[in-house]
Amino acid sequence: MGHGTNRVEDMASPNNGTTAPATANARETIVEIHSVCLPPKKTAFQKLKKRFGDVFFPDDPLERFRNQTWRNRVILCLQSLFPIFTWGSQYDLKLLRSDVVSGLTIASLAIPQGISYAKLANLPPIVGLYSSFVPPLIYSVLGSSKHLAVGPVSIASLVMGSMLSESVSPTQDSILYLKLAFTSTFFAGLFQASLGLLRLGFVIDFLSKPTLIGFTAGAAVIVSLQQLKGLLGIVHFTGKMQFIPVMSSVFSHRSEWSWETILMGLGFLAILLTTRHISMRKPKLFWISAASPLASVVISTLLVFLIRNKTHAISFIGHLPKGLNPPSSNMLYFSGTHLALAIKTGIITGILSLTEGIAVGRTFASLKNYQVNGNKEMMAIGFMNMAGSCTSCYVTTGSFSRSAVNYNAGAKTAVSNIVMASAVLVTLLFLMPLFYYTPNLILAAIILTAVIGLIDYQAAYKLWKVDKFDFFTCMCSFFGVLLVSVPLGLAIAVGVSVLKILLHVTRPNTLEFGNIQGTQIYQSVKRYREASRIPGFLILAVESPIYFANSTYLQERILRWTREEEARIKENNGSTLKCIILDMTAVSSIDTNGIEALFELRRRLEKQSLQLVLVNPVGSVMEKLHKSKIIESLGLSGLYLTVGEAVADLSSTWKAHGQP
Within residues 258-317, the interface with its own copies by CB under 8 A covers none
Coil vs helix vs strand at 101 = helix
Please report how close the Cβ of residue 515 comes to its own copies at its closest, in angstroms: 12
Please report how close the Cβ of residue 549 comes to its own copies at its closest, in angstroms: 5
Cβ proximity to its own copies: between 527 and 568 the closer is: 527
Coil vs helix vs strand at 124 = coil
For its own copies, the binding residues in 19-58 under the rule CB under 8 A are 19, 32, 34, 37-40, 44, 47-48, 51, 54-55, 58
Please report how close the Cβ of residue 553 comes to its own copies at its closest, in angstroms: 6
For its own copies, the binding residues in 373-402 under the rule CB under 8 A are 374
What is the helix (H) or strand (E) element at residue 582, kind and residue range?
A: strand 579-583
Task: State the burial class of residue 461 (Cβ atoms within 10 Å of its Cβ: 0-12, 13-18, 19+).
Answer: exposed
For its own copies, the binding residues in 592-651 under the rule CB under 8 A are 592-593, 595-596, 600, 603-604, 607, 618-620, 624, 627-628, 641-642
Distance CA 233, CA 261 (A): 6
Nearest of 446, 115, 448 to residue 292 by alpha carbon? 446
For its own copies, the binding residues in 489-518 under the rule CB under 8 A are 497-498, 500-509, 511, 516, 518
For its own copies, the binding residues in 513-542 under the rule CB under 8 A are 516, 518-521, 523-524, 526-530
For its own copies, the binding residues in 186-225 under the rule CB under 8 A are 202, 205-211
Cβ proximity to its own copies: between 427 and 550 the closer is: 550
Among 349, 408, 551, 651, binds its own copies (CB under 8 A): 551
Task: List, as one string, the DSSP characters of 407-458.
Answer: HHTT--STHHHHHHHHHHHHIIIIIGGGGTT-BHHHHHHHHHHHHHTT--HH
Please report how close the Cβ of residue 477 comes to its own copies at its closest, in angstroms: 12
Q: Which residues contact 625 (CB under 8 A, 6 or more apart)?
A: 590, 595, 598, 614, 617, 631
Cβ proximity to its own copies: between 129 and 207 the closer is: 207
Distance CA 219, CA 202 (A): 24
Please report how close the Cβ of residue 207 comes to its own copies at its closest, in angstroms: 8
Cβ proximity to its own copies: between 5 and 628 the closer is: 628
Please report how close the Cβ of residue 196 comes to its own copies at its closest, in angstroms: 15
Coil vs helix vs strand at 576 = coil
For its own copies, the binding residues in 574-593 under the rule CB under 8 A are 585-586, 588-589, 591-593
Among 90, 172, 369, 573, binds its own copies (CB under 8 A): 369
Q: Which residues contact 171 (CB under 8 A, 6 or more apart)?
A: none
Cβ proximity to its own copies: between 530 and 632 the closer is: 530
Contact (Cβ atoms closer than 8 angstroms) between residue 231 and residue 493: no
Q: How far is CA 660 from CA 152, 195, 329, 573, 613, in A?
A: 77, 64, 86, 14, 19
Cβ proximity to its own copies: between 213 and 232 the closer is: 213
189 in the Ramachandran plot: left (φ > 0), alpha (ψ -120 to 50) or beta?
alpha
Cβ proximity to its own copies: between 421 and 490 the closer is: 490
